[in-house]
């Protein structure tokens, strides 16, 4: 092992001399869970437009409020409809935000034509310049016994001047939104054109200022009830908690050489840059227990330098060839019989941040117990079954599959091809269940998704499916 550890020393020391410089900066969006947004849509939909308290029949918005049905993670409160448990990403360096929600909100009527508009699975998107949109899948039921039609995903309202924050409230623009033609709303006041143009003409006046409403004096306030209500968003930034898993080390004897797979999650990718140039993945004693453990590469028995660091999801995967009993580059003999061994991770090159410090111990078999015998090996998992695309969103795709038949899979790895390059894939993403959301469908075209079951012994044959984003 001396030759190996000398190579490790050279590799880490050489890497340590590579300076990125203070001008290099890298920031990646952190994953968000538990997001929510609160919205009345407009006063017409939420509370109605009672022109006179004495005559509720004058409520011009009754046909939008009689049938209000919600499903999924949606609840009506005194302040608006709240969509909860949203997921997505937030980039603290730019304010760019992408939040996806499940659930739907319907507004319409039963006794005044029996028609409605439904907004399903909305998405709040904000660019780095503070502009964005609330989009949703629009379902429309026409008057009478008509059927429900899926009109696709469209922008419902535009968002402007969105603060770079994790909590904000913005009133969508209302004036100057409509197209100036004969069918345009009064003074161009309306919800996003894409949404208004998508719904039936008989329903559009719920979401735009109409000249016919201004013609009658007692309905003069009607249009003000139809303007978009403020939309409030709230979420917490990701709390990154590094975690390591080492597979392939079960029942490893101290003198046995074996290649193990190391996977990391929860590694904050925004730490990359300004002198932090990737991470080290190292086998040997815990460097935190040594006097100079993070600065003496000769101590360790195996190492990998990952210059790209974790991916945007805070994950990485690599392999190490390890042996428990080894002599290091300082001519010191190490053994798991006397010193706990495992896999460590820390920031390259000179540990400028401790946020990535991690250690995962490896349990070696006891060499002094002649009666110890290896148990029967766990068979490799069978491949995942019935892989399918469950939903295609703007920039993401939801993939589902069924469990491996032999029941030995401890998890799954999933990846998607790059836009416009169906044979070139992004990095694998780990999943502990049979559903995951992949980002990367930024444009129309053909894509491939691959899923493989994994356990401590290895991985099953990957399953590849193809789909086209229109």
Who has greater pLDDT, 326 or 424? 326
**How far apart, in Å, are the Cα atoms of 47 and each of 44, 60, 216, 408?**
6, 11, 21, 55
Comparing C-alpha atoms, which of 74, 77, 76, 70 is closest to residue 108?
A: 70
Sheet containing 279-285, strands listed edge to edge, beginning at the edge strand earlier in sequence: 302-306, 279-285, 341-347, 358-361
Q: Sorting pLDDT into bands at 50, 70 and 90, what band is 21?
A: very low
Q: Sorting pLDDT into bands at 50, 70 and 90, what band is 23?
A: very low
Who has greater pLDDT, 215 or 262? 262
Comparing C-alpha atoms, which of 120, 118, 110 is closest to residue 62?
A: 110
Residue 340 has pLDDT above 90, yes or no: yes
What is the sign, positive or negative, of the torsion defined by CA atoms of 383, 386, 392, 398?
Answer: negative
Instruction: Measure CA 150 to chain center.
Output: 25
Mean pLDDT of the residues in the chain: 83
Q: Sorting pLDDT into bands at 50, 70 and 90, what band is 17?
A: very low
127: which residues sit within 8 A by CB, 6+ positions away? 96
Which residue stretches of 82-236 are H helix? 193-198, 211-214
Mean pLDDT of 28-40: 83
Q: What does the pLDDT read at residue 92?
A: 79
Q: What does the pLDDT read at residue 430?
A: 86
Per the structure block, which two tokens stand in for 294?
């993070």
pLDDT in tens, 390-434: 888 878 888 988 888 777 888 889 999 988 788 888 888 888 888
167: which residues sit within 8 A by CB, 6+ positions away? 232, 233, 234, 235
When mean pLDDT is compared over 35-39, 199-203, 263-267, 311-315, the highest value belongs to: 35-39
For tokens 């998405």, name the residue.
Answer: 123
Per the structure block, which two tokens stand in for 431?
């999943």
Comparing C-alpha atoms, which of 348, 289, 274, 284 is closest to residue 316?
A: 348
336: which residues sit within 8 A by CB, 6+ positions away? 254, 324, 325, 362, 364
Mean pLDDT of 106-129: 90
Residue 462 has pLDDT above 60, yes or no: yes
In whole angstroms, what is the distance from residue 408 CA to residue 330 CA?
42
Percent of the chain at pLDDT above 90?
42
Mean pLDDT of 352-379: 72
Residue 174 has pLDDT above 50, yes or no: yes
Q: What does the pLDDT read at residue 180?
A: 63
Domains identified in the chain and CATH numbers? 2-26+240-361 (2.60.40.230), 40-234 (no CATH), 385-469 (2.60.40.10)
């Amino acid at each position: 092992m001396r030759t190996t550890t000398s190579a490790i020393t050279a590799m880490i020391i050489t890497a340590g001399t590579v300076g990125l410089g203070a001008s290099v900066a890298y920031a990646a969006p952190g994953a968000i869970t538990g997001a929510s947004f609160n919205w009345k849509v407009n006063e017409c939909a939420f509370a109605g437009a009672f022109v006179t308290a004495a005559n509720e029949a004058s409520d011009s918005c009754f046909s939008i409020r009689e049938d209000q049905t919600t499903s999924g993670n949606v609840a009506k409160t005194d302040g608006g409809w709240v969509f909860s448990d949203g997921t997505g990403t937030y980039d603290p360096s730019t304010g760019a935000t992408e939040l996806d929600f499940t659930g739907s909100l319907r507004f319409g009527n039963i006794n005044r034509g029996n028609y409605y508009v439904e907004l399903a699975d909305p998405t709040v998107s904000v660019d780095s310049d503070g502009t964005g949109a609330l989009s949703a899948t629009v379902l429309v039921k026409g008057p009478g016994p008509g059927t429900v039609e899926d009109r696709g995903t469209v922008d419902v309202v535009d968002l402007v001047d969105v603060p770079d924050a994790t909590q904000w409230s913005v009133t969508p623009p209302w004036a100057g939104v409509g197209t100036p033609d004969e069918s345009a709303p009064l003074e161009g006041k309306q919800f996003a054109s894409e949404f208004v143009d998508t719904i039936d003409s008989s329903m559009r006046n719920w979401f735009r200022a109409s000249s016919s409403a201004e013609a009658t004096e007692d309905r003069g306030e009607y249009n003000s009830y139809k303007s978009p209500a403020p939309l409030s968003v709230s979420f917490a930034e990701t709390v990154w908690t590094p975690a390591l898993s080492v597979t392939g080390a079960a029942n490893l004897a101290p003198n046995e050489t074996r290649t193990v797979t190391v996977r990391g999650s929860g590694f904050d990718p925004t730490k990359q840059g300004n002198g932090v140039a990737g991470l080290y993945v190292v086998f040997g004693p815990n460097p935190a227990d040594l006097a100079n453990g993070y600065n003496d590469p000769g101590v360790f028995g195996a190492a990998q330098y990952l210059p790209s660091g974790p991916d945007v999801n805070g994950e990485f995967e690599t392999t190490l060839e390890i042996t428990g009993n080894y002599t290091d580059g300082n001519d010191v003999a190490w053994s798991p019989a006397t010193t706990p061994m495992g896999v460590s991770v820390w920031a390259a090159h000179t540990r400028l941040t401790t946020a990535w410090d991690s250690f995962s111990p490896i349990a070696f078999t006891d060499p002094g117990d002649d009666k110890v015998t290896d148990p029967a090996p766990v068979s490799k998992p069978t491949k995942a079954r019935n892989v399918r695309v469950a939903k295609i969103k703007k920039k993401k795709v939801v993939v589902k599959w069924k469990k491996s038949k032999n029941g030995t899979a401890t998890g799954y790895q999933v990846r998607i091809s790059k836009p416009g390059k169906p044979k070139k894939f992004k990095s694998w993403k780990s999943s502990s269940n049979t559903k995951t959301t992949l980002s990367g469908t930024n444009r129309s075209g053909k894509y491939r998704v691959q899923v493989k079951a994994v356990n401590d012994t290895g991985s099953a044959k990957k399953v590849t499916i193809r789909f086209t984003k229109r």
